[in-house]
Structure 1
């Protein structure tokens, strides 16, 4: 019996070992599967939603114009006798620019001066005659009709003197106007006529035929100690700018920028381009900035308060933006409405409040809604 029992143990033992091994193996597989199903904790950083003052420049392009531009033609009809300036000359107010031949005017002045002297003599005689007539009328030697005639003669002589004096003043003014002078400090930018051309006060070149207009004056003068940048901006930005808005104008041709402010905002919007013109003054004491130059302008409206967030925290497409926040050690997806400020910052329009933290960092693409997270560091806040 004993020997039989030993044989039974020897036979049974291998089956027991196999069964025990299978049971232990089964227990191990369950734990491994459970461990495989447990989500992995992801390390992340946070960045804060902060309030900041935002200045968003309004940009535009345009052209430089002179402060004043005047094309000057003759003030009296005649031959252009002398042109005193050339293109590029700087002139002061009152400097002579050109002269119309004045010999006929000087002769006319002399003639009218004598006409005035003659009228003055006639008036003196008529006044004395009236005085005598008045005395004799008082004594009864001159009738009322005779006194009236003497008075009329005196008044006529006075009127003739007035006419002669007015004619003399007019011709003297023409003589003065034969020299055309600079109306302001500036620079000569065009000269269209040389000496010898006959021109009327309307700029007519008689050599071209009766009534033919030459279409130009003699010289053009520009006032450019101050110039203006005429800049166009979209009408959608009109509400953000106004007279006094700070600006910077860059003249690419000079490689220089000038600080200024909007002096004029045009009240008319161009119907074709939907643009508004602004006038920005530029101090130009050295005349370096030339009318016609291309300029770029940045205008700086008053700052506005915004909620700003680091762009690195934002996920999703343009139509469905979202961020992740940490909630009890778990990532929670939060839809947000944003507006781009610059390459690294967005404005939060909805979805987050000031002071809230959004997840960021290199592991952000691995995070989904409900992912266990561990915040290790806090990303630097926006400036």
Structure 2
């Protein structure tokens, strides 16, 4: 009896204590869940977006004339007169300088008389042949005499041809004593003055050389070197902008020539871009900056603030069911704020950012918050990304 009473006395308090403990556990469960939410690391999220990217290819170079020609004498002799000065703008065919021509004038006069003599010999030889031919038909002249008359006529014609050729050559040399502009341009150098003997052949007295230099600059070209790694990004016809700082102007142009030779020392390729220059404002030799504008391409972009790791091993954190997940990615720099995502993420994926980003480790609870004014694209695109708060 005593044992039963003792058992009852112990059993009822134990049951009451167990009930109280169970009741207490049921009340603490929501509080523990709330504490777990408060322990999650607050972060922001950036979305991988698709856009068209047009990256200009830049290079520097020098303005060059369309044509540059040093002009020397065409015949040996003393430079007697120079008609232009440096800076003069000239037209095609305009006389520029003259070599002394007195000798060639005399030569032309002599050969003109030789041509007249040869023409007279041809007339006499033709008359002789005509008479011989008539007499041969009547039987008064032998065939041998007729052949002699024919040979005399032919020889006279040959001598006339030679005399005319010599006259034409001398006349050309006389004409060449005056050097004219080969094209419209501007005189950019004058190397000698009147009175200097100039030769047209190596080893001649005075040696070879130029009297004037003429440039054609109504069209000029920017000769620019760009890194070879950009060679695939443009082609002939690709639009470009040329900046010439010294005259504070820019010109719209295009790639007209791509040199097939790549400089193996600088690892650059030469391109040429034309500029219309009717007013001659752009001078050959000026420094030029060029931006070549390749066609836009479709890329995935992400703010640089989401990147972690080194240049050789980049990674980001994403949110997977409210926990941080490390994702290795490959990127390429676009500018100071964005990178191009090459591998690891797709359009619409979210990468975590924010001041707490360096604290994250794999599996850590995260809570994605919105910046002021930010749209809650995270919850819409990824319902398991965590808790979003406004």
The TM-score with structure 2 as length reference comes to: 0.82
What is the CA distance between 1:80 and its match in structure 2? 0.9
Counterpart position of 1:248: 241
Residue 129 of structure 2 is matched in structure 1 by 130
Identify the residue that residue 188 of structure 2 maps to in structure 1.
189
SS of equivalent residue, structure 1 residue 333: strand
2:327 aligned residue (328, 334, 344): 334
- What residue number does 1:228 align with? 221
| Contact 1:197 1:205 (C-alpha < 8 Å) held by counterparts | no
Higher alpha-carbon deviation: 295-304 or 72-81: 295-304
Give me the whole-angstrom Cα distance separating, in 2, the residues matched to 1:235 and 1:178: 49
Give the Cα–Cα distance (whole angstroms) in 2 for the partners of residues 298 and 51 of structure 1: 24
For 1:3, the equivalent position in structure 2 comes to: none
Residue 257 of structure 1, aligned match among 240, 250, 253: 250
SS in 1 for 2:97: strand
Structure 1 equivalent of residue 179 of structure 2: 180
User: Does the Cα contact within 8 Å between 1:46 and 1:379 map onto a contact in 2?
Assistant: no
Q: Which residue of 2 aligns with 1:325?
A: 318
8 Å contact kept, 1:324–1:333: yes
The 3-state SS of whatever aligns with 1:354 is coil
Q: 2:164 is paired with a residue of what secondary structure?
A: helix
Structure 1 residues 151 and 361 mapped into 2: Cα distance closer, same or farther (>3 Å)? Answer: same
What is the CA deviation profile of residues 60-106 of structure 1, one whole-angstrom value per residue up to 9, with x for unaligned ones?
A: 22122111111111111111111001111111111110001112211
User: What is the CA-CA distance between 1:355 and the residue it aligns to?
Assistant: 1.1
Offset at residue 46 of structure 1 (A): 2.4
Give the match's secondary structure for 1:358: strand
Number of residue pairs matched by the alignment? 345
Q: Are the equivalent residues in 1 in contact too, given 2:43–2:366 (CA < 8 A)?
A: no
| Matching residue of 2:305 | 312
Distance 1:279 1:319 in 2: 36
For the residues of structure 2 that align with 1:76 and 1:317, how far apart are their CA atoms? 72
**CA contact under 8 A between 1:334 and 1:351: conserved in structure 2?**
yes
1:372 matched to which residue of 2? Answer: 366
Could you say which residue in structure 2 is the equivalent of 1:104? 103
Cα deviation for residue 203 of structure 1 reads 7.2
**Unaligned segments of structure 1, at least 5 residues:** 1-26
Instruction: Note if contact 1:331-1:373 (Cα within 8 Å) is conserved in structure 2.
Output: no
User: Where does structure 2 lack aligned partners over 5 or more consecutive residues?
Assistant: 1-23, 378-390
Secondary structure (helix, strand or coil) at the match of 1:342 reads: coil
Deviation of 1:328 after TM superposition, in Å, equals: 3.2
When residues 374 and 101 of structure 1 are mapped into structure 2, their CA distance, relative to the original with a 3 A threshold, is closer
Match of 2:385 in 1: none
Offset of 1:163 from its aligned partner? Answer: 0.9
**What aligned pairs does 1:48-197 form with structure 2 within 5 A after superposition?**
48-197=47-196
| Rounded Cα–Cα distance in structure 1 between residues aligned with 2:193 and 2:73 | 13
**How much does 1:221 deviate?**
0.4
Q: Retained in 1: the 8 A contact 2:45–2:368? A: no
* TM-score w.r.t. length of structure 1: 0.83
Other structure's SS at 1:336 match? strand
Deviates more, 1:244-253 or 1:111-120: 244-253
| Local SS of the residue matching 1:93 | coil
Structure 1 Cα separation of the partners of residues 278 and 355 of structure 2: 55
More off after superposition, 63-72 vs 265-274: 265-274
Contact 1:41 / 1:374 at 8 angstroms: preserved in 2? no
Aligned residues of 1:47 and 1:379 also touching (Cα < 8 A): no
Within a 5 Å distance, the mapping from 1:211-222 to structure 2 comes to 213-214=207-208, 216-222=209-215
The 1-side partners of 2:354 and 2:149 are apart by 114
Deviates more, 1:233-242 or 1:66-75: 233-242
Give the Cα separation in 1 of the matches to 2:48 and 2:34: 36
CA separation in 2, counterparts of 1:179 and 1:154?
Answer: 39
Please point out which of 233, 238, 251 is paired with 2:231: 238
Quote the offset at 1:115 in angstroms. Answer: 1.0
Match of 1:200 in 2: 199
